[in-house]
Structure 1
Amino acid sequence: MRETLRTRLGWLHGWLGYGAALVLTCIFATGSVAVFNMEITRWMQPEVQLATLVPPGALALDAAARLVAAEQARGVSAFITLPSARSPTLDVVHYNGHEFVGARLDPATGAAIPARITAGGGLFYNFHHTLFLGPQVGTVIVNIAGMALLVAIVSGVVIHIHALVPDIILFRLSAARLRAWLDAHLLAGVLFVPFMVMMAYTGVLVKADMLVPAAPRPARPVQANTPPPAPMPDLTRLPLAPLLAQARASLPGQEPGFILFAPQRVSIFAGDASSAFLTRDHADFTLPEGTPLPASTTATPIARTMQFMHGLHYARFAPPGLRWLYFLSGVCGTAVMASGLVLFVMKRRRQAGHRWTHRLADGLNVAIIAGLPAAMLAFLAGNRLVPASLTGREDWETGIFFMAWALCALHALFQALRGQAHRAWQAQLGLVGLLGASLPVLDLLCSPAAFYTLPGLHMAVDGMGSGAAMLALYARHKLRRQDT
């Protein structure tokens, strides 16, 4: 009975795990990088060279309000994001369907910073949450993959629980390739299974309403003589600095993060980095008078629990050290998924290696494990190569990412279906090495002033590219030795 259960769970873990891991590898890889989405956006805008955080002054806030009014007049729903330790500029942004883009202002003077428009780290953040398929379809797919991960983890623990300790202690990297890959998969899985469970569970929970929507509310009857919506008041006559000071007093312990405008009121929301509880508490003021209204806070146990789940998953409260821990844990979680993909193909090569379905799976592995990092590095390199003044350059950057990935996928599938998957591995791992090694050179040549003004930021991003290059070139070297 026990062996039958383990056999069935092994089938479930293998097939469900493989199908989910194709998506989960992409989700974990982009999510790991998206932990530093704001820092990546700063790297991709080298014109912004503010090294220290400066509280926004009255002149800067008034300049931002004028920009919001101009955007509202054009029919664009813009809002203000306040400076923070991770993003020290005062921004007037709007959502273009994928990212928040807009103008960046000096928080001390209100002068516009001529920064290039970029997709920034928001591309990785958006892909992690929606696979760039939109907030409805993409979020549902990601949630289903998250639930499949929880099932795969439980089945994997049951399968290997009887020999888990010996397999971890006898970590056999020098053994046969299949045994070494299995040991690596088990070791990384055991060490980081708490992180993977936490991220999968919280990720599914915070978006559960996409899978199980609430019952629709009855529609209100339409009145024949409904008055037209009130026009937006003149924001240029409303000083925001006094309202910001009042909002700080109304939201004790929470630093204001962004300002939204409506025809009847202005709302100043608490910043996401205020605490581990990701709230949407806000202080409201009437327009155009600026009369304070009661602050809106959520304090019920269920609401606080959900806020904590949001905070754990998004990690916007995390200081730099914890943020790096999230990043490294996410990278190791990605390694668990990637090694599972490789194991699935290796275990079935002897029986099904001649079939086109097996070769297709081999090609998909190359496209995901090597092609995705190549596309991510091409996206970063493209930021330095696309002209800064080009109209719609954020779309060009996004196009570089998807075009590079598509070309890698086509190359991988072409070689794999010919039975030459090892050539695709070598070529694309070499491409990752080339792109990653060239990233610091491009950064230094194209933006030397920003490199010297913010050396820590640029060395961190360039270092991640160089680290990916070294890992890829080492894997390529090992693969070539095994093939000879």
Structure 2
Amino acid sequence: MRETLRTRLGWLHGWLGYMAGLVLTCIFATGSVAAFNMEITRWMQPEVQLATLVPPSARALDAAARVVAAEQARGVSAFIALPSARSSTLDVLHYNGHEFIGARLDPATGAVIPARVTAGGGLFYNFHHTLFLGPQMGTVIVNIAGIALLVAIISGVVIHIHALLPDIILLRLTAARLRAWLDAHLLAGVLFLPFMAMMAYTGVLVKADMIVPAPPRPARSVLVPAPPPALMPDMTALPLASMLARARASLPGQEPGFILFAPQRVSIFAGDASSAFLTRGHADFSLPGGSPLPVDTTATPMARTMQFMHGVHYARFAPPSLRWLYFLSGLCGTAVMASGLVLFVMKRRRHAGHRGAHRLADGLNVAVIAGLPAAMLAFLEGNRLVPASLAGREDWESAIFFAAWGLCTLHALFQALRGQAQWAWRAQLGLVGLLGTGLPVLDLLCCPGALRAQPGLHMAVDGMGAGAAIVALYARHRLGQRGA
């Protein structure tokens, strides 16, 4: 009975793991990088060279309000993002359907910094949460993949529970290829099981309403016509500095993060980095006078639990050391998914030979495991190559990412369906190596001033590219040795 259960769970773990693993590998890879989404955006705007955090002055807030008024006049709903430890500028942002973009202001003087418009790290963040398919369909697909991951984790634990301790201490890289891949998959899976389970569970939970929506509210018995939309007051006359001071006093222990505008009020929200509980605490002020409005801050135990789940998953409260831990754990989770994809094809090809389905799976593996990192690096290099003054350049950057990934996918499928998957692996791993080693060189040639102004930031991002290149070139070397 036990063997029958393990056999059935093995089938479920393999097939469900592979089908969801193609998506999960992309989700974990981009999510790992998205742990530094704001830092990547700073890297992609080398014109911004403010290294120290300065509180926004009244003059700068007034200048930001004028920019908001200009955006409102164009029909764009904008808000003000206050300086923080991760972003030292005063920003006026709006959502373009995929990322938050807008003007960067000096928080001391209010002068607009002529920074290039960029998709920034928001592309990785958005891809992680929605696969760039929109907040509805994309989020549902990601949530279904998260549920599949939880099922794969449970089935994997049941299958290997009898040999859990040996799986932790054994890593036979010099053994047969199938045994070596299986050891790597089990070792990373066991060591990073808590992280993967936590991220899958919290990720599904915080967006559960997308899969299981709340029941509809009962219709009103009397239909009341909606009032006409109110006009925004004169933004240039708002006392934002005094509002900000009062908001800081009414949000003890929480630093204000952004300012939202409505026709009848201004809401100043606590920054997401204030605590592990993503509370969205805020202070409201009436317009146009700026008088404080009462705000109900009472939270039920269920609401506090959900706030903690949001905070743990998004990790916006995390200091740099914890953020690096999220990043490295996410990469190891990505390695678990990627090695599982390779194992799935190797096991079935050993018994059934090189069938067309196996060749297709080989091509998809190459496109996800090697093609996606190549596209991510091409996106970063595209930021340096696309002219800074080009209109709509954030869309050009996004197009570079998807075009590079699409070409890698076509190349991988073409080679794999011809029975030449090894050449696809070698070519695309070599491409990752070339792009990764070229990233620091391109950064140095294009932005030497920014590199001198913020060396730590540029060394970290360039180092990620170089690290990806080293791993890819090593894998390419081992692939050639083994003759796979």
Q: TM-score, normalised by structure 1?
A: 0.99
Partner of 1:193: 193
8 Å CA contact 2:91–2:102 kept in 1: the answer is: yes
DSSP 3-state at the match of 1:268: strand
Partner of 1:456: 456
Mapped to 1, the partners of 2:420 and 2:410 lie a distance apart of 13
8 Å CA contact 2:64–2:91 kept in 1: the answer is: yes
The aligned runs of 1:407-422 (5 Å cut-off) are 407-422=407-422
8 Å CA contact 2:363–2:409 kept in 1: the answer is: yes
User: Which residue identity is paired with 2:345?
Assistant: V
DSSP 3-state at the match of 1:374: helix
User: Which residue identity is paired with 1:444?
Assistant: L
Mapped to 2, the partners of 1:218 and 1:391 lie a distance apart of 47
Partner of 2:306: 306
8 Å CA contact 2:167–2:190 kept in 1: the answer is: no
User: Which residue identity is paired with 1:243?
Assistant: M
Mapped to 2, the partners of 1:450 and 1:296 lie a distance apart of 45
Mapped to 1, the partners of 2:439 and 2:297 lie a distance apart of 45
Quote how far apart the aligned CAs of 1:169 are.
2.4
After superposition, the C-alpha distances for 1:100-158 in whole angstroms (9 at most, x for unaligned) are: 00000000000000000000000000000000000000000000000000000010011
Mapped to 2, the partners of 1:298 and 1:451 lie a distance apart of 46
After superposition, the C-alpha distances for 1:183-203 in whole angstroms (9 at most, x for unaligned) are: 000000000000000000000
DSSP 3-state at the match of 1:135: coil
Mapped to 2, the partners of 1:77 and 1:217 lie a distance apart of 28
Mapped to 1, the partners of 2:476 and 2:328 lie a distance apart of 22
Mapped to 2, the partners of 1:296 and 1:53 lie a distance apart of 31
Partner of 2:163: 163
Quote how far apart the aligned CAs of 1:222 are.
4.0
The aligned runs of 1:303-452 (5 Å cut-off) are 303-452=303-452
User: Which residue identity is paired with 2:320?
Assistant: P
Q: What RMSD, in angstroms, separates the aligned Cα atoms of the two structures?
A: 1.0
Mapped to 2, the partners of 1:298 and 1:253 lie a distance apart of 16
DSSP 3-state at the match of 2:293: coil
Does 1:24 pair with 2:21? no
Quote how far apart the aligned CAs of 1:217 are.
1.9
8 Å CA contact 1:267–1:282 kept in 2: the answer is: yes
Partner of 1:258: 258
Quote how far apart the aligned CAs of 1:350 are.
2.3
User: Which residue identity is paired with 2:163?
Assistant: A
Quote how far apart the aligned CAs of 1:60 are.
0.2
Which consecutive residues of structure 2, in runs of 5 or more, have no partner in the other structure? none
**Bigger mean CA deviation after superposition, 161-170 or 266-275:** 161-170
Partner of 2:214: 214
The aligned runs of 1:61-140 (5 Å cut-off) are 61-140=61-140
User: Which residue identity is paired with 2:315?
Assistant: A
Partner of 2:288: 288
Partner of 2:174: 174
Quote how far apart the aligned CAs of 1:418 are.
0.4
Mapped to 1, the partners of 2:464 and 2:178 lie a distance apart of 29
User: Which residue identity is paired with 2:467?
Assistant: G
8 Å CA contact 1:437–1:465 kept in 2: the answer is: yes
8 Å CA contact 2:81–2:93 kept in 1: the answer is: yes
Mapped to 2, the partners of 1:167 and 1:56 lie a distance apart of 54
Quote how far apart the aligned CAs of 1:300 are.
1.4
Quote how far apart the aligned CAs of 1:408 are.
0.2
Partner of 1:244: 244
DSSP 3-state at the match of 1:317: coil
The aligned runs of 1:274-285 (5 Å cut-off) are 274-285=274-285
DSSP 3-state at the match of 1:348: helix
8 Å CA contact 2:171–2:180 kept in 1: the answer is: yes
Mapped to 1, the partners of 2:311 and 2:438 lie a distance apart of 36
After superposition, the C-alpha distances for 1:366-412 in whole angstroms (9 at most, x for unaligned) are: 00000000000000000000000000000000000000000000000
Quote how far apart the aligned CAs of 1:34 are.
0.1
Quote how far apart the aligned CAs of 1:252 are.
0.7
8 Å CA contact 1:412–1:421 kept in 2: the answer is: yes
Mapped to 2, the partners of 1:360 and 1:30 lie a distance apart of 24
Mapped to 1, the partners of 2:241 and 2:353 lie a distance apart of 68
Quote how far apart the aligned CAs of 1:287 are.
0.4
Mapped to 1, the partners of 2:46 and 2:460 lie a distance apart of 14
Quote how far apart the aligned CAs of 1:168 are.
3.0
Quote how far apart the aligned CAs of 1:352 are.
2.8
User: Which residue identity is paired with 1:465?
Assistant: G
Quote how far apart the aligned CAs of 1:166 are.
2.1
**Bigger mean CA deviation after superposition, 229-238 or 100-109:** 229-238
8 Å CA contact 2:131–2:138 kept in 1: the answer is: yes
Which consecutive residues of structure 1, in runs of 5 or more, have no partner in the other structure? none
After superposition, the C-alpha distances for 1:45-97 in whole angstroms (9 at most, x for unaligned) are: 00000000000000000000111111111110000000000001000010000
After superposition, the C-alpha distances for 1:430-480 in whole angstroms (9 at most, x for unaligned) are: 000000000000000000000000000000000000000000000000001
8 Å CA contact 1:251–1:295 kept in 2: the answer is: no
What is the aligned-residue identity percentage? 85
Q: TM-score, normalised by structure 2?
A: 0.99
DSSP 3-state at the match of 1:273: helix
DSSP 3-state at the match of 1:103: strand
Mapped to 2, the partners of 1:194 and 1:445 lie a distance apart of 42
User: Which residue identity is paired with 1:28?
Assistant: F
Mapped to 2, the partners of 1:222 and 1:390 lie a distance apart of 49
8 Å CA contact 2:170–2:187 kept in 1: the answer is: no
Does 1:230 pair with 2:227? no
8 Å CA contact 1:250–1:295 kept in 2: the answer is: no
Quote how far apart the aligned CAs of 1:210 are.
0.2
Mapped to 2, the partners of 1:170 and 1:50 lie a distance apart of 48
